[in-house]
Amino acid sequence: MVIILKPDANDIQIKIISNMIKDFGLDVHIIKGETCIIIGIIGDTTKIDEGAIELLDGVDRIIHIQEPFKKVNRKFHPNNSIIKVSNKEIGSNKIALIAGPCSVENEDQILEIAKRVKESGAHFLRGGAFKPRTSPYAFQGMGIEGLKLLNIAKEETGLPIVSEIMSTEYLDFFIENVDIIQVGARNMQNFDLLKALGKTNKPILLKRGLCSTIEELLMSAEYILSSGNDNVILCERGIRTFENYTRNTLDISAIPVIKKLSHLPVIVDPSHASGMWWMVEPLSKAAIAAGADGLIIEVHNDPIHALCDGQQSITPDRFSQLVNKLKLIANIENREI
Ligand code: PEP
Ligand code: MN
């Protein structure tokens, strides 16, 4: 981090600024050019209150040289992180496929979908039990009962379970009964939830917020890692843009950007990104071609009657066809599914 001073900054102001940096426990390196003065800060700049420095007389602006995220930063962890879940991995050469309904609705529904996606090659079963719905009158999920049904499906198929947590209220139940705890887009910046999840050792699937930058997503992941849990998988699920044909806009560029900046695995959710079942195939192909470590796809055996997100859910048959096509793309990249 460097502080650019105003051209007319005087020695007393430079001293006051330098002393404040030193009070934060850091050192300074002052460079006096002909037209401008720069103060370089040496040490861990996370300790600094930038707002306070900006208020000091003589300061023009602060420029960041390094990223504000440390533990998720690839610079300090050059190798890809591979997250272990049961006997499976996310982030390795093998592409992870998570499939299942938006919401668990009843035992027959979740069992049938689980069996069908397993046959087609899915590695994990998704299913919402606590649903973050825009309308309070919409189906809110089956709650704990839904998590129990997911476990019945897990016993039948062996597929580890991915399900969304909305608050810390049922955290113990999630720790016991869910293999990957999903933090949804709307809770990406629920910092108390992130800190609580950081104190567990469960794999966390952290989805990008609707209007969040990549840096904000990485800072949210930083909350979990800095609280002690390194098992984080990031998810690009589309962001809000001015385009309103699709539900969201899938930010394909987030995949290579996140891969460059961070060692954490990144998967893509083409279902929420598009909001339309017929776009799931092209977006899934694009995500794998762009280097995603996996996909989370909504699959429903009866999309027309789905209680949530039927319009963006593909049928088990279509999922099966999609997996076969994705295998070809993975092959080109010397990867497998
Ligand atoms: C979901 O996965 O069911 C979900 C609600 O996703 P998002 O948080 O990305 O909207
Ligand atoms: Mn959904």
- Measured in angstroms, how far is the CA atom of residue 37 from the centroid of ligand 1? 48
The answer to whether the CB of 125 falls within 8 A of the CB of 157 is yes
Q: Which of 187, 176, 305 is nearest to 235 (CA)?
A: 187
- What was the pLDDT predicted at 65? 84
- Measured in angstroms, how far is the CA atom of residue 86 from the centroid of ligand 2? 24
Residue 182 clears pLDDT 90, i.e. is over it: yes
The answer to whether the CB of 221 falls within 8 A of the CB of 262 is yes
- What was the pLDDT predicted at 303? 98
Tell me the mean pLDDT in the region 101-110.
98
Tell me the mean pLDDT in the region 182-193.
98
- Measured in angstroms, how far is the CA atom of residue 120 from the centroid of ligand 1? 23
DSSP character string of 182-246: EE-GGGTT-HHHHHHHHTS-S-EEEEPPTT--HHHHHHHHHHHHHTT---EEEEE--B--S--SS
- Closest Cα to atom 6 of ligand 1: 184
Ligand 1 atom having least distance to the Cα of 269: 9
Tell me the mean pLDDT in the region 152-179.
98
The answer to whether the CB of 102 falls within 8 A of the CB of 308 is yes
The pLDDT-based confidence of 47 (bands split at 50, 70, 90) is confident
- What was the pLDDT predicted at 233? 98
The pLDDT-based confidence of 66 (bands split at 50, 70, 90) is confident
The pLDDT-based confidence of 158 (bands split at 50, 70, 90) is very high
Tell me the mean pLDDT in the region 247-270.
98
Tell me the mean pLDDT in the region 190-213.
98
- Closest Cα to atom 4 of ligand 1: 184
Ligand minimally distant from the alpha carbon of residue 164: 1
- What was the pLDDT predicted at 242? 98
Residue 35 clears pLDDT 90, i.e. is over it: no
- Measured in angstroms, how far is the CA atom of residue 333 from the centroid of ligand 1? 28
The pLDDT-based confidence of 21 (bands split at 50, 70, 90) is very high
DSSP character string of 279-325: GHHHHHHHHHHTT-SEEEEEB-SSGGG-SS-GGGPBPHHHHHHHHHH
Tell me the mean pLDDT in the region 280-299.
98
Q: Cα 74–75–76 angle (5° rounding)?
A: 90
- What was the pLDDT predicted at 44? 85
Ligand minimally distant from the alpha carbon of residue 207: 1
- Closest Cα to atom 9 of ligand 1: 185
- What was the pLDDT predicted at 180? 98
For ligand 1, which residues put their CB under 6 angstroms from it? 102, 128, 132, 164, 184-186, 207, 237, 269, 272
Tell me the mean pLDDT in the region 202-228.
98
Residue 48 clears pLDDT 90, i.e. is over it: no
Q: What percent of the chain has pLDDT over 70?
A: 100
Residue 309 clears pLDDT 90, i.e. is over it: yes
Residue pLDDT, tens place only, 106-124: 999 999 999 999 999 999 9
- Measured in angstroms, how far is the CA atom of residue 298 from the centroid of ligand 2? 7
- Measured in angstroms, how far is the CA atom of residue 310 from the centroid of ligand 2? 8
Residue 313 clears pLDDT 90, i.e. is over it: yes
- What was the pLDDT predicted at 281? 98
Q: Which of 210, 161, 159 is nearest to 182 (CA)?
A: 161
Residue 32 clears pLDDT 90, i.e. is over it: no
Indicate the average pLDDT of the chain.
96
Ligand minimally distant from the alpha carbon of residue 133: 1
Ligand 1 atom having least distance to the Cα of 182: 2
- Closest Cα to atom 10 of ligand 1: 185
- Measured in angstroms, how far is the CA atom of residue 210 from the centroid of ligand 1? 10
> Which of helix, strand or coil describes residue 115?
helix
Residue 204: beta bridge partners? 181, 232
Q: What is the rounded CA–CA span in Å between residue 147 and residue 133?
A: 18
- What was the pLDDT predicted at 64? 87
User: Which of 134, 183, 246, 272 to probe ligand 1 with, by most ligand atoms within 8 A of CB?
Assistant: 272
Residue 146 clears pLDDT 90, i.e. is over it: yes
| pTM (predicted TM-score) | 0.92
Ligand minimally distant from the alpha carbon of residue 298: 2
- What was the pLDDT predicted at 287? 98
Residue 329 clears pLDDT 90, i.e. is over it: yes
